[in-house]
Amino acid sequence: MNDDWKKTQGDPENSWSRQEEDTWREASAWDENSDQKDVSGTAWEEPTGGDTTYSWVNPKLRKNTEEQKQGENFKKKYDSYQFSQPQPEPPVRKPKKSYGLLKKFGLCAALAVVFGLISGLIILGITSLGREEETVQVRQTVPATEPVQSQNEETAAPAVSSVADVAANSMPSVVAISNVGVQEIQSFFGGTREYQSESSGSGIIVGQNDSELLIATNNHVVSGADTITVSFIDEASVEAQIKGTDANNDLAVVAVDLSQLSEDTLSAIKVASLGNSDDLVVGEQVVAIGNALGYGQSVTSGYVSALNREVTVDNVTASLIQTDAAINPGNSGGALLNMQGELIGINAVKFASSEVEGMGYAIPVSTAEPILDELMSRETRRKVDEKDAAYLGITCTNVTAETQQMYNLPAGVFVDSVTEGSAAEKAGMISGDIITKFDGTTVTTYDELVNTMAYYAAGEEVEMIVMRAESGEYQEVSLTLTLDSRPADAD
């Protein structure tokens, strides 16, 4: 550099001042060390007149052509130190995918859906026009709480609501049942006298069909009833009919005609939400709701004390849920609920003793559900007039629990004798048969058989199931018979 400096000392045009050299060095050093070549379009500009110095300027601020030419001359002299702005590469345009076929397919599918919806609505409208009445739909109870959401699904547990929440959500599904019948009582002087008797129980709204509201209860709540009255949460009371019973499982279904219910009652009641009693664990909290002592609905709470307890009542043995929730007279047929407000049992039995407290039992809903479904599918019957009453033509007796154990007999009604020419004889019934079912209804006592037949008129054809001893073992035999009219001299 010193040689170059000396060489240019005598040349006024090409000589550099010390200031020029320093400026040149700074520019050269900046160029070599910088990683960025874009300086926002800047370039060297050489001012005119006076001492020659160099500085950074923005080319957009140039105002005359003379200055631009001087800048171009300087560019030629110091071409190796020029800073230029790189030109961006033109963007690469991605080829567009062709969706022609897909669009056509989607359009066709959309048109098909629209056509299907329109056709369905037209058919629905035509069907609705042909109906004379609108079907009434009773609300369904919903769980009192929703399950708690957890990131770990294996540890997620349902939220527990209060007893008050369960009661408020479920009481519209529970009804009070009053049973009025005639009871024969042995008099002090011999003979019998008939007295009108009234009992109370509970029921649970479990379903409905096009014309009826269906209520589940215990068989012993409605057995022997001449009239049945159902009272709802809004205190409205209507008459009900027995739709079906199962004495072996102590279950029954009664039906209420929807036309008897007002709009206010229909809006106040709900169909119970069924849970799964198989998921119960000992120690789980439960709530019992029922018509205790006939005073109206009451709520008690307790815990599952035991599961699968075998209890025998009136020659019938069942596997039940044991709970310490108070189950008093009148609670039979009422609801046992979990803390989500779901029905998990039908209250049925209480261990009554001065030495025992807090031992109530309920039929598990998992056991009751298929039986109730079958009972709800039956034809609803009303008691026939006495003049139309049916007649079998047999004498019979009950098979007691002691007799069953002693002689290994099945539960049912034992046929002592068969009247010649009677409906029973014509169907093939013989002495020694044990009647277990009448037209699909289980019977275990003579009273149950008589009460069931009270809903059938003479001339109707029914199927009966009997157990018959053959080769030392009892075999099931099905008999089809046409019911007779009751003779005037029949006892």
For residues 297 and 116, the model is more confident at 297
Pick the CATH number of 386-485 from 2.30.30.240, 1.10.357.10, 2.30.42.10, 2.40.50.140: 2.30.42.10
Query: Is the pLDDT at 170 greater than 90, yes or no?
Result: yes
Q: Which two three-digit tokens encode residue 400?
A: 């007691």
Query: Is the pLDDT at 146 greater than 60, yes or no?
Result: no
Q: Which two three-digit tokens encode residue 4?
A: 């170059």
Query: Between β-strands 270-271 and 139-140, what pairing exists: parallel, antiparallel or unpaired?
Result: parallel
For 255, phi then psi, to 5°, come to -120, 140
Per-residue pLDDT at 189: 59
pLDDT 10s digits, 415-429: 999 999 999 999 999
For residue 347, name the pLDDT band (cuts at 50, 70, 90).
very high
pLDDT above 70: percentage of residues in the chain:
63
Average pLDDT over residues 59-78: 46
Three-state DSSP string of 347-370: EEEECCCCCCCCCEEEEEHHHHHH
Closest CA to 360 of 339, 340, 337, 331: 331
Q: Is 220 an annotated catalytic residue?
A: yes
Query: Is the pLDDT at 407 greater than 60, yes or no?
Result: yes
| Side-chain half-sphere CA neighbours of 312 within 13 A | 5
Q: Is 66 exposed, middle or buried (0-12, 13-18, 19+ CB in 10 A)?
A: exposed
Give the best-scoring range by mean pLDDT among 10-14, 184-188, 292-296, 479-483: 479-483
CB atoms within 10 A of CB 441: 22
pLDDT 10s digits, 453-477: 989 999 999 999 999 998 888 999 9
Separation of alpha carbons 409 and 473, rounded Å = 9
Per the residue annotation, which of 170, 220, 231, 439 is the catalytic one?
Answer: 220
Q: Which residues contact 135 (CB under 8 A, 6 or more apart)?
A: 210
For residues 448 and 55, the model is more confident at 448
Q: Is 17 an annotated catalytic residue?
A: no
pLDDT 10s digits, 149-169: 333 334 333 455 799 999 999
Query: Is the pLDDT at 60 greater than 80, yes or no?
Result: no
Q: Are 479 and 460 in contact (CB under 8 A)?
A: no
Q: Is 119 an annotated catalytic residue?
A: no
Amino acid type, 191:
G
Reduce the DSSP state of residue 162 to 3 states and report it: coil
Per the residue annotation, which of 161, 178, 199, 250 is the catalytic one?
Answer: 250
pLDDT 10s digits, 283-336: 999 999 999 988 888 999 999 999 999 988 876 788 999 999 998 889 999 999
Per-residue pLDDT at 322: 95
Residue 454 Cα distances to 214, 230, 281, 344, 386, angstroms:
21, 21, 42, 33, 8
For 85, phi then psi, to 5°, come to -85, 120
User: In 199-348, which residue ranges form alpha helices assigned H by DSSP?
Assistant: 219-222, 263-268
Q: Are 291 and 202 in contact (CB under 8 A)?
A: yes
Per-residue pLDDT at 131: 47
Q: Are 45 and 56 in contact (CB under 8 A)?
A: no
Beta bridge partners of 290: 298
pLDDT 10s digits, 202-246: 999 999 999 999 999 999 999 888 889 999 999 999 999 999 888
Per-residue pLDDT at 65: 47
For residue 346, name the pLDDT band (cuts at 50, 70, 90).
very high
Per the residue annotation, which of 332, 433, 439, 484 is the catalytic one?
Answer: 332
Q: Are 341 and 169 in contact (CB under 8 A)?
A: yes
Separation of alpha carbons 448 and 166, rounded Å = 36
What residue ranges do the domains of the chain occupy? Answer: 2-81, 163-376, 386-485
Q: Rounded mean pLDDT of the chain?
A: 76
Query: Is the pLDDT at 77 greater than 50, yes or no?
Result: no
Beta bridge partners of 360: 323, 350
Per-residue pLDDT at 184: 61
Identical topology for domains 163-376 and 386-485: no
Query: Is the pLDDT at 23 greater than 90, yes or no?
Result: no
Beta bridge partners of 322: 306, 361
pTM of the predicted protein model: 0.64
Average pLDDT over residues 383-396: 89
Q: Are 363 and 348 in contact (CB under 8 A)?
A: yes
For CA atoms 140, 230, 297, 306, give the dihedral sign: negative
* CATH architecture under which domain 163-376 falls: Beta Barrel (2.40)
**Length of the chain as a residue count:** 491
For 431, phi then psi, to 5°, come to -65, 140
Separation of alpha carbons 314 and 322, rounded Å = 18
